[in-house]
Chain A
């Protein structure tokens, strides 16, 4: 087991968007929102392969998700908006009404590799 730090951005994806209409309980939405993407370099650095399980942690909460390699800069992770992302984003809005949903630090714990 190992712990590492990365910067996470959460955002829209096509399958997550389809799930808003088709049903968030459906597999398409669940899969889309429960997979974190890492750069190939980070996957290699952490000894990860597609669909390995990882735990992401912030001071607000944790989320256990699958990981997948994607075209991302090293050190950056991407997770679609959804239940897992909601665990990690804090509620502080710095007098703006908007939580910090992008560009915050997460700790990575490798669960299966």
Chain B
């Protein structure tokens, strides 16, 4: 059986042109998918014999699992719901409602990928566009602190570099590609210009670029520690001002380095300045398949994109206070619900240590470090393979996820909505 135009929900590119072949109840081919997409389709499509629910390692019924998880969460004083970046928006909605009923925190993987970008957007606004506009119009493409060749393998070919569009009929030949990073990376091959910035000096470089774009004088000596020369920067500022349509893709090289949201604020302000002379946009290179979706769902429902707390009965936002790493590191959380995520394997040691001390409920599509320590584990259908749903591409365009395989497991949405109903009964 061949399913055409299937959406890959592994990374933020959310490619919607995958042709999936299903034979004997498993996915045997994912045509057009990159190496990451192939691994996602083929490995998530493998049959498994794991029980749908485990309580303390023992197989249990869904009803028993819902009861056990609901009572762990309802009893806690400061629970946190975390993850949600690899599931559907429909499931994310249920998770927000559950956090509200519990009076706890809800945070998503955004806080450890592009949370600082979200904070900058709140401060100075977001000059943005869709990837369709990039494909059709952009003749200057800058990746800053990003290595798309490894993190988003089809970003350059499908949207931003080699793709041919209405005003870029010659594809690669119609664009100049610039890479700004602390190191040469596999993406460097695709760049016309590479600027190697010293670690932790992105803010200084972005601020100097702003000055140049505004026509101000910049001393060579002020760039001494950045690793970039004034000549290189003057050249880049000139290209940015004179391009027809420019786009700055920002990666975790900016969000995870010294300066964090201030790096992003500088980048957004630079792009705002550029719009006085040309058309320029900025887009964060969102990592997980539906991390953009969870920001949107949280923002519709609470007003904030991540790190939200309901303990006073209304949503409050405070990165550093209600975000997963901080809530764990300070030993505040007394129960954790992990959804479609593996915090035990992905968070810094000082934060994940807390996960061994508190009851953890895990909902995931496969076994992980987190399911191994969880008291209650639900196996769920993979959104986009075993169950339909909605995912947002990194440019905030929603796409429909298809079901291509039957699955014995319920969806995240179903598990979360049943958990919500049971917690409501326990916590009137």
Interface residues of A (CB under 8 A from B): 7, 9, 11-14, 17-18, 20-24, 60-61, 71-73, 76, 78, 81-83, 86-87, 89-103
Q: How many A-B residue pairs have CB under 8 A?
A: 145
B43 contacts A21, C-beta separation under 8 Å: yes
Contacts of B422 in A (CB 8 A): none
B369 contacts A24, C-beta separation under 8 Å: yes
Contacts of B44 in A (CB 8 A): 21
Given A9-B182, A83-B345, A95-B321, 18 more contacts at CB 8 Å? Answer: A11-B252, A14-B35, A17-B35, A17-B36, A20-B39, A21-B39, A23-B366, A24-B345, A24-B368, A90-B350, A91-B351, A92-B329, A98-B115, A99-B256, A99-B348, A99-B351, A102-B253, A102-B256
Pick from B55-63, B123-131, B257-265, B266-274 the stretch touching chain A: B257-265
Pick 21 A–B contacts, CB within 8 A, sort by A. Answer: A17-B150, A21-B40, A21-B44, A24-B368, A61-B349, A71-B184, A73-B183, A73-B227, A90-B348, A91-B325, A91-B350, A93-B323, A95-B320, A96-B320, A97-B306, A97-B319, A97-B323, A98-B112, A99-B348, A101-B112, A103-B258
Q: Is B111 an interface residue (CB 8 A)?
A: yes
Give A73 Cβ to nearest chain B Cβ, in Å.
6
- Hey, what's the 0/1 contact readout for B105-116 against A, CB within 8 Å counting as 1? 001000110011
Partner of B199, one of A87, A98, A103: A103
Bound-state CA distance A11–B40 (Å) is 20
- Hey, what's the 0/1 contact readout for B140-156 against A, CB within 8 Å counting as 1? 00000001001101000
Bound-state CA distance A90–B351 (Å) is 9
B115 contacts A96, C-beta separation under 8 Å: yes
Q: Is B196 an interface residue (CB 8 A)?
A: yes
Q: Is B352 an interface residue (CB 8 A)?
A: yes
Bound-state CA distance A101–B6 (Å) is 34
Bound-state CA distance A70–B257 (Å) is 21
A99 contacts B368, C-beta separation under 8 Å: no
Contacts of B257 in A (CB 8 A): 100, 102-103
Question: 9 closest pairs, A vs B, by CB?
Answer: A97-B323, A95-B320, A91-B350, A103-B199, A91-B329, A97-B319, A97-B111, A101-B256, A21-B39
From B199, B307, B328, residue with most partner A Cβ within 10 Å: B199
B255 contacts A98, C-beta separation under 8 Å: yes
Indicate whether A96 sits within 8 Å of B261 (C-beta atoms), given known contacts A76-B182, A103-B182.
yes
Interface residues of B (CB under 8 A from A): 10-11, 35-36, 39-40, 43-44, 107, 111-112, 115-116, 119, 147, 150-151, 153, 182-184, 186, 196, 199-200, 227, 252-253, 255-258, 260-261, 287, 306-307, 319-321, 323-326, 328-329, 342, 345-352, 366, 368-369
Contacts of B111 in A (CB 8 A): 97-98
Residue of chain B at shortest CB distance from A13:
B150
Give A29 Cβ to nearest chain B Cβ, in Å.
10
A12 contacts B151, C-beta separation under 8 Å: yes
Partner of A60, one of B258, B287, B347, B349: B349
B147 contacts A12, C-beta separation under 8 Å: yes
Bound-state CA distance A90–B366 (Å) is 28
Contacts of A92 in B (CB 8 A): 329
Bound-state CA distance A90–B35 (Å) is 31
Contacts of A23 in B (CB 8 A): 43, 366
From A13, A21, A61, A92, residue with most partner B Cβ within 10 Å: A21
B348 contacts A86, C-beta separation under 8 Å: yes
Contacts of B196 in A (CB 8 A): 73
Give A72 Cβ to nearest chain B Cβ, in Å.
5
Contacts of A61 in B (CB 8 A): 349
Contacts of B347 in A (CB 8 A): 86, 91
Contacts of A95 in B (CB 8 A): 319-321
Bound-state CA distance A93–B150 (Å) is 26
Bound-state CA distance A13–B149 (Å) is 9
Bound-state CA distance A57–B331 (Å) is 24
Bound-state CA distance A110–B119 (Å) is 40
Bound-state CA distance A68–B196 (Å) is 21
Indicate whether A97 sits within 8 Å of B325 (C-beta atoms), given known contacts A21-B36, A103-B199.
yes
Residue of chain A at shortest CB distance from B186:
A14
A103 contacts B200, C-beta separation under 8 Å: yes
A93 contacts B325, C-beta separation under 8 Å: yes
Contacts of B323 in A (CB 8 A): 93, 96-98
